[in-house]
């Protein structure tokens, strides 16, 4: 794997992100308690380690080297060994940074967890269509996407994947939106 942008983000950077999205993390805690979540597969925790302490079984994957996560790209890695082992697939503020959401959703479902929770840190209903941008911080080796996805478009994809009737979008405050899929 090539070294990427994420490895220059500091612990302080992640702490600031956590504080900015405290409402989301409180919601995640409540969701986990309500649904008796005991095992989590988390995509992109970065340098945060709040979820791993709260469950019996925890696995994460990240493009940030953090000593705990598998250092790999969720959108391309082999997921076979993780299928059917977790109550919750959690991905907060990650999918906007990926090259599209379709494969991400497919893979998130492929883990075969009981619940999928994907958060969007800039909300989702700002635009009718998807807006795809690349951060000016990117290098030739590593593109840092800052995509904005539309709920209407994502619902079409969830329908194709056969899970639209199990999906719900909620928005917390002005920004964070959350996709919950109950499988
Ligand atoms: C904006 S940070 C979010 C960190 C944390 N989840 C939060 O909500 O504060 C995005 C994280 O996703 C990771 N990431 C981005 N694309 C990824 C990918 N394709 N596979 C795995 N991790 C990825 C980055 O390394 C980074 O840690």
Q: For residue range 32-47, list pLDDT tens digits in order.
A: 999 999 999 999 999 9
Residue 49 Cα to ligand 1 middle (Å): 13
Q: What pLDDT is attached to residue 65?
A: 87
Alpha carbons 120 and 132: distance in angstroms, whole number: 14
| pTM greater than the 0.85 cutoff | yes
Q: Can you give the three-state secondary structure of the chain, one letter per residue? A: CCCCHHHHCCHHHHHHHHHHCHHHHHHHHHHHHHCCCCEEEEECCCCCCCCHHHCCEEEEEECCCCCCCEECCCCCCCCHHHCCCCCEEEEECCHHHCCCCHHHHHHHHHCCCCEEEEEECCCCCCCCCCECCECCCCCCCCCCECCECCHHHHHHHHHHCCCHHHEEEEECCCCCEEEEEEC
Alpha carbon 52 to its chain centroid, in Å, reads 15
Residue of 16, 28, 46 best suited for mutating to test ligand 1, as the one with most atoms within 8 Å of CB: 46
61 CA to centre of ligand 1 in angstroms: 9
Residues with CB under 6 A from ligand 1: 6, 17-18, 43-46, 48, 61-64, 73-75, 92-94, 97-98
The predicted pLDDT at position 6 comes to 75
pLDDT number for residue 136 = 64
Q: Ligand 1: distance of its center to the CA of 92 in Å? A: 8
Close Cβ partners of 16 (under 8 Å, ≥ 6 residues apart): none
What is the predicted pLDDT for the residue at 132? 75
By C-alpha distance, which of 106, 90, 100, 108 is closest to 150? 100
Ligand 1 atom nearest to 91, measured from its CA: 6
42 Cα to the center of ligand 1, angstroms = 10
Which CATH number describes the domain made up of 5-182?
3.40.50.150
Per-residue pLDDT in tens (0 to 9) along the chain, 183 residues: 555 667 777 888 889 989 999 999 999 999 999 999 999 999 999 999 999 999 999 999 998 888 899 999 999 999 999 999 999 999 999 999 888 899 999 999 999 999 999 999 887 866 666 677 776 665 656 667 888 888 988 999 999 999 999 999 999 987 789 999 999
Distance CA 64, CA 105 (A): 21
Say what the alpha-carbon torsion angle 45, 71, 74, 100 is, to the nearest 10 degrees: 80
Round to whole Å and give the CA distance between 117 and 53.
18
């Amino acid at each position: 794997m090539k070294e990427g942008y994420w490895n220059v983000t500091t612990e302080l950077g992640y702490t600031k992100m956590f504080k900015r999205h405290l409402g989301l993390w409180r919601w995640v805690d409540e969701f986990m308690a309500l649904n008796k979540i005991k095992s989590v597969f988390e995509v992109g925790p970065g340098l945060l380690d709040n979820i791993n302490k709260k469950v019996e079984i925890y696995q994460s994957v990240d493009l940030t080297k953090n000593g705990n996560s598998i250092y790999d790209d969720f959108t391309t890695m082999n997921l076979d060994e993780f299928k059917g082992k977790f109550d919750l697939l959690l991905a907060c503020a990650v999918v906007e940074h990926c090259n599209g959401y379709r494969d991400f959703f497919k893979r998130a479902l492929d883990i075969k967890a009981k619940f999928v929770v994907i958060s969007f840190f800039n909300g989702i209903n700002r635009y009718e269509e998807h807006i795809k941008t690349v951060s000016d911080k990117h290098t030739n080796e590593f593109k840092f996407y800052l995509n904005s996805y539309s709920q209407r478009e994502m619902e079409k994809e969830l329908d194709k994947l056969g899970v639209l009737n199990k999906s719900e979008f909620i928005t917390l405050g002005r920004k964070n939106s959350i996709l919950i899929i109950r499988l």
